Amino acid sequence: MRILICEDSVLLREGIVRLLVDAGHEVVAALPDAEHLDETVDSTSPELCVLDVRLPPSFTDEGIRAALRLRRTHPTLPLLVLSQYVEERYASDLIGAQGGALGYLLKDRVADVADFLESVRRIGEGATVLDPEVVAQLLTRQSRNQRMASLTERERQVLALLAEGKSNQAIAGVLHLSEASIEKYITAIFQKLGLEADEHGNRRVLAALAHLENHTN
Query: 33 and 87 share a domain?
Result: yes
Q: What pLDDT shows up at residue 50?
A: 96
My answer on whether 121 and 147 are in the same domain is no
* pLDDT (average), residues 143-166: 77
- 18, 125: one domain: yes
pLDDT digit string, tens, across residues 166-202: 888 999 999 999 999 999 998 888 777 766 545 545 5
| Same-domain check for residues 42 and 122 | yes
* 14/121 same-domain check: yes
Indicate the residue among 80, 102, 130 that finishes a domain.
Answer: 130
Same domain, 89 and 156: no
The residue among 130, 152, 173 that closes a domain is 130
Give the model's pLDDT for residue 215.
Answer: 43
CB within 8 Å of 76: residues ≥ 6 apart? 99, 100
Considering the chain, what percentage of its residues have pLDDT values greater than 90? 41
Which domain does 32 fall in, by range?
2-130
| Domain end marker among 130, 153, 176 | 130
Do 196 and 115 share a structural domain? no
Q: Kindly state whether residues 167 and 190 are assigned to the same domain.
A: yes
66 and 159 belong to one structural domain:
no
pLDDT > 70: percent of the chain? 82
Same domain, yes or no, for 99 and 155?
Answer: no
* CATH code where residue 94 lies: 3.40.50.2300
Q: Structural domain tally of the chain?
A: 2
Q: Mean of the per-residue pLDDT values for the chain?
A: 82
At residue 57, the pLDDT reads 85
Task: Report the CATH number at residue 144.
Answer: 1.10.10.10
Q: What is the pLDDT of residues 93-147, one digit of tens each?
A: 787 776 788 888 888 767 688 889 999 999 999 888 888 777 777 666 655 466 7
Residues 126 and 36 in one domain: yes
Q: Examine the domain organization and report whether 54 and 74 are in the same domain.
A: yes
